[in-house]
Structure 1
Amino acid sequence: MKTVKVTFLALSLFCLLGVVKAEKPKNRTVFTMKFSISSFIDADTRGLCNGLANIINDNAKFTMMRGDQLISCNKKQIVNYLEKLRGIQQNCTTSYDVIEAADKYALIKVVMKYPAFTRFNYVTMNECSDGWKITNVNSIFVK
C-alpha cells in the first residue's frame, strides 16, 4: 500500500511540475495503431520515450483516481513526467487488448500487473492525418 501511495504522490507531483515543449513530427510518418499503443506502453513501463510526443494528440487528457481524488494531466505534463522516468523499468508485466475498434476510433485496455496491485489504463485512440494518436487515458488501480 505504501508503494501505491508513493507512486500516486510521485505521479501527481510530476504532473503538476514544469512543462516540456512537445516536438512535432519532422516528416510525414503515419503511425499505426499497434505502433502507437506499443510506444506508449514502452514509455510508461520501460522508460523508452523516443518519439512519445508524436503519438499523443495535442489535446490529449490523462486522468487517474487517487482514493476519492481525480488527478488530471495534459500532454505536456505527462510527456514531462515520463521523460523524467527515462530508462527506468517498472516492476510489472504488461498486456493489452483492443476492446473496441472502428474506422478512426479504438478503445484499448492496458493491464500492468505489479506484485501488490494492478493498474488498468483505458486508452482512447483516434486516427488523425498522421496516423493513430492517443487522445485520452483513464487509469485505475486495484489491489
Structure 2
Amino acid sequence: MKTLQIPFLIAFIFMYALVNVQAAPTATNPTTDKFNKYGLKATKTYTIDRFIEGVTSGDLKNLKNLLDDQFQQTVSYNGRSLTYNKSEFLEILKMSQNIVMNCTTTYTIVEECDDLSIVKVSMNFPTFVKTSYVTMKPNKDDVWKITNVSTVYGAEA
C-alpha cells in the first residue's frame, strides 16, 4: 500500500495544478491600431526605442503604426531645410531597411508630462553627429505616437 501512496500523491498534485491554473487574461476590447491587436499600449519608452531601431538598424517593424497620421519630419543641413510627411519618411527609411548604421546612439528626455514628451536622440557617427528632437504624445487610446521629428547635422562632438 505504501508504494501506491507516491503515485497517488503525484496524481493528486497534478490534478490540483490542472484545475487551479488560470490562463492569462485576454484583451476583450482591443484598440483599433493594427499594431495593437492584443490590446497592449505603446509606452513612451517602447515608442522611442522602436524609432531608434528604425533609423539606426533599419528595423521598421511597427514603426509605421507608431507615427501619427499628421507626422512631419524636418531636416536642416547646410542652410537648407526639407520637410517630409509620414509616407515620405517611411519611404526614405525603407531604402536603408536592415542596414545597421555605423554610429553610437543615445537619447535623453528633454521634457515630459502626461500628454507630451520631447526626446533628444543623438547618433554619433565617426565624422559627424545627427541629432533628432522627437515629439510624442498619446492618442485617444493612450498609445504614444510620434508627431514630429526635427533633425540637424553637426560636426563630430
Q: Which amino acid aligns with 2:147?
A: T
Q: Which amino acid aligns with 1:99?
A: V
2:149 aligned residue: 137
Once residues 51 and 83 of structure 2 are traced to their aligned partners in structure 1, the CA distance between those partners, rounded to angstroms, is 18
1:120 is displaced (CA, Å) by: 0.6
Larger RCO of the pair (alpha carbons < 8 Å, separation 6+): 1
After superposition, the C-alpha distances for 1:63-122 in whole angstroms (9 at most, x for unaligned) are: 011211110000111111112211100110001011100111000000100000001100
* 1:51 equivalenced with 2:62 (yes/no): yes
Write out aligned runs for 1:4-19 (5 A).
Answer: none
Q: Please, what TM-score do these two structures have when normalized by structure 2? A: 0.73
Let me know the Cα RMSD of the aligned residues: 1.2
Identical aligned residues as a percent: 31
Once residues 146 and 125 of structure 2 are traced to their aligned partners in structure 1, the CA distance between those partners, rounded to angstroms, is 24
Query: Aligned to 2:42, what secondary structure does the other structure show?
Result: coil
Q: How many residues are matched?
A: 120
Match of 1:77 among 72, 88, 91: 88
1:42 is displaced (CA, Å) by: 0.2
Write out aligned runs for 1:1-143 (5 A).
Answer: 25=34, 27=37, 28-130=39-141, 131-143=143-155
Q: Which has the larger radius of gyration?
A: 2
The 10-residue stretch of structure 1 (69-78 or 124-133) with the greater mean CA deviation from structure 2: 124-133
Query: Aligned to 1:76, what secondary structure does the other structure show?
Result: helix
Once residues 109 and 69 of structure 1 are traced to their aligned partners in structure 2, the CA distance between those partners, rounded to angstroms, is 21
Alpha carbons of structure 1 residues 29 and 76: separation in structure 2 relative to 1, 3 Å: farther
Q: Which amino acid aligns with 2:138?
A: E
Once residues 101 and 139 of structure 1 are traced to their aligned partners in structure 2, the CA distance between those partners, rounded to angstroms, is 19
Once residues 53 and 104 of structure 1 are traced to their aligned partners in structure 2, the CA distance between those partners, rounded to angstroms, is 21
Q: Which amino acid aligns with 1:78?
A: F
Once residues 51 and 83 of structure 1 are traced to their aligned partners in structure 2, the CA distance between those partners, rounded to angstroms, is 13
Runs ≥4 in structure 1, deviation > 4 angstroms?
A: none
Q: Please, what TM-score do these two structures have when normalized by structure 1? A: 0.80
- Is there any run of 5+ residues in structure 2 with no aligned partner, and where? 1-32
